[in-house]
């Protein structure tokens, strides 16, 4: 008989926490999970899922516009923001219920409330202390506001999902994927949208050429870009806001959305009491087995600030469960993790950028193609699709693939499998394409 109440106590019922709990329970562990809000975490409640739904909603504006080129007379469309939010909230509630059912059906004991560590093997929640052989921190991260005067006037992505009404004008501060995605969403819904970013291009970390292409494409669609520009303060101006910029000018707008990164949710968890080490950003420091400096306490997902992607957290969760309870020590391979920015148009990427490949391999071959998608030959829209392959010249291995264009994420996902398997450029060349598709360009470059 174990001297602990549970074999595993999970704090946080997001994608990583729920998967770790379920897989561990399936391996025979006695598991509890604690959640302060609704199951599903950021991805379901304030991230991937609702953002993709709003992205779909905003994309209909272009669909209505393009229809004329294909013989459709579309009457003046009318958009209802509140209806979109109601339908989005209904879908999120459905997913919350599914997550709850998955947890319960797996035999996991679920607790609602704020959980805090009181030691290496103990957690208190709602006044009751529970003990566990292993404790998992899977509390995710949250958006941050800048440390500048008037920051409280701005909203974050959390509030963007629940606006009572759409503004006529909006400024989005930031240049990461969240900023770029929301710029496309609100611009597509008819909001005059300006993106202010301190860098020379949005999406730092992606391939430089791809970043240039995307900046051009989102500008074509009406998003105003203020690059190499920093916000220094926000000031109230009646029902509007003045946004003070570092060049001495001011921008008047109705709303400001700050998308300047996310901070790990590590505060007020009792981690200091338990002796767990954090880095300077508040991220939980872990080894390759997801253990903190206190071996009985583990962490995974966004709270560790490695790769803040839902599939990464899920993969880490499965590896942890197998390591702890499956007698199968497992590490996660973080190379060639594909990702997609649901900008308009999409940007998707896997493997190395051209810049990274030149540093790692020296001699590389770069293949690229830019073309007008077949769909737009009859819409009159001047949108370009861009594709790029990076190849190690010595081995002929494809070490990077990048795309800007419609359904880029769907296309790159398949290519990611090939790159993970070590595909060569000659294999791409010998593959017969599906015609007529945009994807076939990857095998005809």
Tokens 């003046």 map to which residue?
76
- Spatial contact of 244 and 234, defined as CB atoms under 8 Å apart: yes
Cα–Cα distance, 445 to 433 (Å, whole number):
11
- Spatial contact of 128 and 93, defined as CB atoms under 8 Å apart: no
Catalytic one among 87, 162, 200, 435?
A: 435
Cα–Cα distance, 39 to 249 (Å, whole number):
44
Q: What are phi and psi of 92, to 5 degrees?
A: -65, -40
Residues near 358 by Cβ (< 8 Å), separated by ≥ 6?
A: 364
DSSP annotation of 265 reads S
Tokens 């059906």 map to which residue?
105
**How is residue 301 written in tokens?**
């997902």
Residues near 25 by Cβ (< 8 Å), separated by ≥ 6?
A: 31, 106, 107, 108
Q: Which of 416, 420, 422, 428 minimizes the C-alpha distance to 395?
A: 422
Cα–Cα distance, 59 to 50 (Å, whole number):
14
Residues near 423 by Cβ (< 8 Å), separated by ≥ 6?
A: 397, 398
**How is residue 444 written in tokens?**
């005809």
Residues near 97 by Cβ (< 8 Å), separated by ≥ 6?
A: none
Cα–Cα distance, 33 to 211 (Å, whole number):
40
CB atoms inside a 10 Å sphere around CB 402:
27
Residues near 252 by Cβ (< 8 Å), separated by ≥ 6?
A: 169, 237, 240, 241, 242, 243
DSSP string for residues in 205-257: TS-HHHHHHHHHHHHHTT-EEE-S--EEEEEEETTEEEEEETTS-EEEESEEE
HSE-CB for 411 with a 13 A CA cutoff: 26
435 tagged catalytic = yes
**How is residue 276 written in tokens?**
């767990």
Q: Which residues are catalytic?
A: 435
């Amino acid at each position: 008989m174990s001297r602990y109440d549970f074999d595993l106590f999970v704090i946080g019922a997001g994608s990583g926490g729920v998967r770790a709990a379920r897989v561990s329970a399936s391996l025979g562990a006695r598991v509890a999970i604690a959640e302060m809000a609704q199951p599903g975490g950021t991805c379901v409640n304030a991230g991937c899922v609702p953002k993709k739904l709003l992205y779909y909603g905003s994309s209909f504006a272009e669909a209505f516009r393009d229809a004329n080129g294909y013989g459709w007379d579309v009457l003046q469309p009318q958009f209802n923001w509140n209806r979109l939010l109601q339908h989005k909230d209904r879908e999120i509630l459905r997913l919350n219920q599914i997550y709850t059912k998955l947890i319960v059906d797996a035999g996991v004991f679920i607790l609602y409330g704020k959980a805090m560590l009181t030691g290496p093997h103990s957690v208190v929640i709602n006044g009751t202390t529970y003990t566990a052989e292993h404790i998992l921190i899977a509390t995710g991260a949250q958006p941050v506001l800048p440390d500048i005067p008037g920051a409280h006037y701005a909203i974050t992505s959390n509030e963007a999902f629940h606006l009572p009404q759409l503004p006529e004008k909006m400024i989005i501060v930031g240049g990461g994927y969240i900023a770029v995605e929301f710029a496309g969403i609100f611009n597509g819904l008819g909001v005059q949208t300006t993106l202010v970013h301190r860098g020379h291009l949005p999406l730092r970390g992606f391939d430089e050429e791809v970043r240039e292409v995307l900046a051009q494409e989102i500008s074509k669609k009406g998003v105003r870009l203020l690059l190499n520009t920093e916000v220094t303060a926000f000031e109230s101006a009646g029902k509007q806001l003045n946004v003070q910029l570092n060049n001495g000018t001011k921008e008047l707008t109705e709303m400001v959305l700050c998308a300047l990164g996310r901070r790990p949710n590590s505060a007020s968890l009792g981690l200091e009491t338990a002796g767990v080490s954090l880095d300077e950003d508040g991220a939980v420091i872990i080894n390759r087995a997801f253990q903190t400096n206190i071996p009985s306490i583990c962490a995974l997902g966004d709270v560790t600030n490695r790769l803040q992607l839902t599939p990464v957290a899920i993969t880490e969760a499965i590896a942890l469960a197998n390591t702890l309870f499956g007698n199968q020590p497992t590490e996660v391979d973080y190379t060639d993790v594909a990702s997609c920015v649901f900008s308009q148009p999409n940007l998707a990427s896997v493997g190395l950028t051209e810049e990274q490949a030149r540093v790692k391999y020296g001699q590389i071959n770069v293949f690229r193609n830019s073309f007008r998608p077949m769909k737009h030959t009859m819409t009159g829209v001047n949108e370009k699709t861009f594709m790029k392959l990076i190849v190690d010249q010595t081995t002929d291995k494809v070490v990077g693939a990048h795309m800007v264009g419609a359904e880029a994420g769907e296309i790159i996902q398949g290519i990611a499998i090939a790159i993970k398997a070590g595909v060569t450029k000659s294999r791409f060349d010998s593959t017969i394409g599906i015609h007529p598709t945009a994807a076939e360009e990857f095998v005809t470059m």
